Structure 1
Amino acid sequence: MSPRTPDASRRSETSRRAIYAAALGLVAESGYAKTTIEGIAARAGVGKQTIYRWWGSKADVLLEAFLDLGEQQVGEGTLQGTTGMTGGALDGPQGIPDTGDLSADLKLVLRATVDNLLDPRFDAPARALTAEGLVDEKLGRTVVAKLLEPNFELYVERLRSAREAGQLRPEIDPRIALELFVAPVAQRWLQRTGELTHTYTDTLVDYALHGIAPR
């Protein structure tokens, strides 16, 4: 009987998952500045040349690991919210719920957003990517394209549906209106200007909808 040929794809996937876990773990424990490719490689049990073969920088590793973390939770059926700033993976595969009650749907998603932002697994890498994206233009554009815009579009679709149902004024631009919900949450989270709670996001929805409701 001939020996079984090693499965290279399985070996690569195992290494990739170990690298994801190492990158997220080190950023959470030590911060972005102290996280290095060498440190990620050592924790993952791979050579640093393996990492450089797949990624160009630690920022690239972290971005992909963060995307994968969100995809895993969606696959597990966990509802996740988005701020449109942090890059959390969001809202499940069907987007923002559309029950016909815009206020309730937005409150549900923003409550889930708060839960995500208060989860250390998401908080540390999200802050790291946000901060690094401000000084690294290429990374910043990638974060916007891969993390933010897809999530913004979920809000746009839900607000457009509400507008068509007569729940918003006809002239309301959904792309601008979404910022009434996501921007305050993102600012409070990034700058730690106040407590981030479900009560806060519920109130935010009430205030915002009062401003864009039919008159």
Structure 2
Amino acid sequence: MAPTKAPDSSRRSDRSRRAIHDAALALVTEVGYRRTTIEGIAARAGVGKQTIYRWWPSKAAVLMDAFLDLAGRAAEDAGSGSGAGSGGTGEPAPGIPDTGDLAADLKLVLRATVDELNDPALEAPTRALTAEGIVDAKLGAEFVHKLLDPQLALYVTRLRAAQEAGDVRADVDPRTALELLIGPLMHRWLLRTLPLTHAYADEIVDCAVGGLAPRA
């Protein structure tokens, strides 16, 4: 008789983690962050609470990890088509394209950000974590450190390259400049004042790049 093959514990762990991630994201989308519980996540994923606590110390940690995984997969899917990095929520891609046309490069990445923010699979958990991060300083700091800062660094790199090429004034702070791009987009998305569209992303870029350009 052939020997029985031992179960692959790592594969089982991966399946359990993915089930927990999916359950956490589904619950926060359906009932919101506050009403999502470790017990609810465990029941939805078909695992015991102890399994979750073995890997994560809190509900916030589970949701952050689940969202990072989701955003990473979304960025991979988007990046495989255009090569552009995410502008707001996804994992960092190699960088914002540098074709020599600053406006075109920024429009490409801001349009990708619009698509992510309008994606139902990403929108609800992003809103939940953003809102909770306002009242939970620790969660907010983690959200900024793990999600926002890597993306903002891509803008800084591209804007500094534009400065070196003479397309952006030397006295401009790239960190301030990137907020001219990201700030209006997030403001409209958070408040739902008007639809978030590619045309709006292009308008933001045109206004910002015009103000950043060297003056005669």
- Which interval holds the TM-score relative to the shorter structure? over 0.9
**Secondary structure of 1:178's aligned partner:** helix
Tell whether 2:190 aligns with 1:190. Answer: yes
Counterpart of 1:204?
A: 204
Structure 1 unaligned residues grouped into runs of 5+ = none
Counterpart of 1:144?
A: 144
Which range moved further: 145-154 or 28-37?
A: 28-37
User: TM-score normalised to the size of structure 2?
Assistant: 0.92
Number of residue pairs the alignment of both structures matches: 210
Q: Which amino acid aligns with 1:181?
A: L
Asked if 2 retains the 8 angstrom alpha-carbon contact of 1:28 and 1:120, the reply is no
Q: Sort the Cα spacing of 1:90 and 1:185 in 2 relative to 1 into closer, same or farther, 3 A.
A: farther
User: TM-score normalised to the size of structure 1?
Assistant: 0.93
Correspondence 1:165-180 to 2 at 5 A: 165-180=165-180
Q: Deviations over 1:68-123 (max 9, x none)?
A: 1122233332556323xxxx1156x3211111100001111111111110101110
RMSD: 1.4
Asked if 1 retains the 8 angstrom alpha-carbon contact of 2:68 and 2:91, the reply is no
Structure-1 separation of matches of 2:102 and 2:189: 24
Q: Which amino acid aligns with 1:81?
A: S
Q: Deviations over 1:32-71 (max 9, x none)?
A: 2221111111111111111111112221111111111122
Asked if 2 retains the 8 angstrom alpha-carbon contact of 1:185 and 1:201, the reply is yes
Identity, in percent, stands at 61
**Secondary structure of 2:94's aligned partner:** coil
Correspondence 1:48-87 to 2 at 5 A: 48-76=49-77, 77=80, 81-83=86-88
**Secondary structure of 2:131's aligned partner:** helix
Tell whether 2:102 aligns with 1:116. Answer: no
Q: Which amino acid aligns with 2:87?
A: T
Displacement of 1:193 = 2.1
Q: Structure 1 segments of 4 or more deviating over 4 A?
A: none
